[in-house]
A and B are shown apart, each in its own frame.
Chain A
Amino acid sequence: MSEPFEPKIVAFVCTYCTYAGADLAGTSRLKYPPNIRMVRLPCTGRISPMFILKALQKGADGVLVSGCHPGDCHFTQGNYHARRRWTVFRALLNFTGIPLERIRFSWISAAEGVKFAELISSLTEDIRKLGPFDQYKAMIHETEAPVSL
């Protein structure tokens, strides 16, 4: 009937590690699915939970947040702060029914081109299996519907 479902995944990445890792994946000609839209930020510490909500609001089926391994932060501590924030925000999303399979977190260094490619492949596959985030999309759709009263 219609085209097969292609998930839309937004990735918020730190420019020093994961973005460089993605770059390495590219220059190494590693293959990974094209479902990812990357947003590059100076540090994972800059990644506000607002970004994740905004991605969902704009219709993302999955979100990846990724940065430097602990201890490797360009700004020394940004990712430690980010880690606490993610822990809490993840619990909140879980409690309000946003499936954790859709919101993922990872550490990928500039040298881990292979890890990046593999993660994107497995993440895309996982979300493809989950299907579109219909529950959230229904809520978005409701805002576009004409007057109901």
Chain B
Amino acid sequence: MTKILLRDRLDDCITRWHAAGFEVIGPVSKNNISQFAAIEKADELDLGAILPGRTLKDLFFPQTEPMFRYRIGKQQIDTEEYLPPERQRIVFGARPCDASAMAIDDPLFGWDYKDSYWFRRRNETVIVTIACTAADEFCMCTSLKLAPDSTLGSDILLRPLEGNRGWLVEELSQRGSEALSRIEALLEKEAAKPLPPADVPVKFDLEACREWLQNPENFESHFWKEISMRCIGCGTCTFLCPTCHCFDFQDEGDTYTGIRRKNWDSCSFALFTMHTSGHNPRSTQSARWRQRIMHKFNYFPGKFSLNSCSGCGRCTRECPVDMGITETLQEITKLSK
């Protein structure tokens, strides 16, 4: 017997979760953009899209967040620390690629020094993922050895049933079980066969790419210049990437009082690595694109044994000049043959 969550019970689930002190968050389409937001009722959810426009990262690593308020006095500086508020959250309706991305970034935020902003939110959030039964031409999770029904990073995986009836429930973690225990009574127990996961074709050869990237001779390859010629150096691909984690600190305020904030930053920006002296180690757009690809598919896996990409395809989907990871790795696959 497997557990089934029926779609028309979703409202009751949300009510129970709310009653248990959870905030419920899901993909919401509003104002011409779909992103994760707190919801009260199931009908606010937009579960039909292939992927929300904005990523799950927003919930764990917002684009800007205050860290300290400072007040400077003659004898002392008072700092007030802002950490994320402690509260239990359930994210309902993430996609496997987005959920995987969170697990991919865990080791980065945790090596040696732990980033409390990330882990506080991670530890308090249950991710309920819905397996994909549809994909578009930009999806590429399978190329990254993930799948439309990957469980990486999820606490609960839901597999859609036929006729939009509901989902087959798979518990994946302790946190997931706890969240499920609150709605146990609302679940059906029956034998059901879920819809097959979406068919996502493999688009490039990850191993071959990694090998090519690891070869020092290819670092200065003309390929990088050719592939990035039309790159305009905006931050769309990095800011819409669920795994990109680069950030910056900015102080806002005046001489005596203000706030230090942690803001997203992007390796595509020319100023990202610029020294005060004017020297810039990555002074061309091709060097910056190379860094992005190298980081995701060579350096990061070298350190954490995970690719810093979960194959959501947003970089290609949203790129203003139709670039993206897919094309680059496809080209590298060709070069490595």
Contacts and interface: CB of A to CB of B under 8 A. Distances in A.
Contacts of B85: 146-147
Interface string B57-85: 01100100110010000000000001111
A129 to B, nearest CB: 30
Contacts, number: 22
The prevalent SS among residues of B at the interface is: mixed
A149 B259 contact: no
B259 A143 contact: yes
Given A143-B259, A144-B259, A149 B84 contact: yes
B58 A149 contact: yes
Nearest to A57: B252
Contacts of B121: 149
B: interface residue count bin: 10 to 19
B66 A147 contact: yes
A146 B59 contact: no
Contacts of A147: 62, 65-66, 82-85
Given A149-B59, A149-B65, A143 B252 contact: yes
Interface string A128-149: 0000000000000001111101
A132 B58 CA distance: 33
Nearest to A144: B259
A73 B79 CA distance: 48
Contacts of A143: 252, 259
Nearest to A58: B254
A147 B82 CA distance: 7
Nearest to B121: A149
B66 A146 contact: yes
Contact of A149 (B62, B69, B83, B252): B62
Across the A-B interface, give the 7 residue pairs with the lowest CB-CB distance, nearest first.
A146-B82, A149-B62, A147-B84, A147-B65, A147-B82, A146-B66, A149-B59
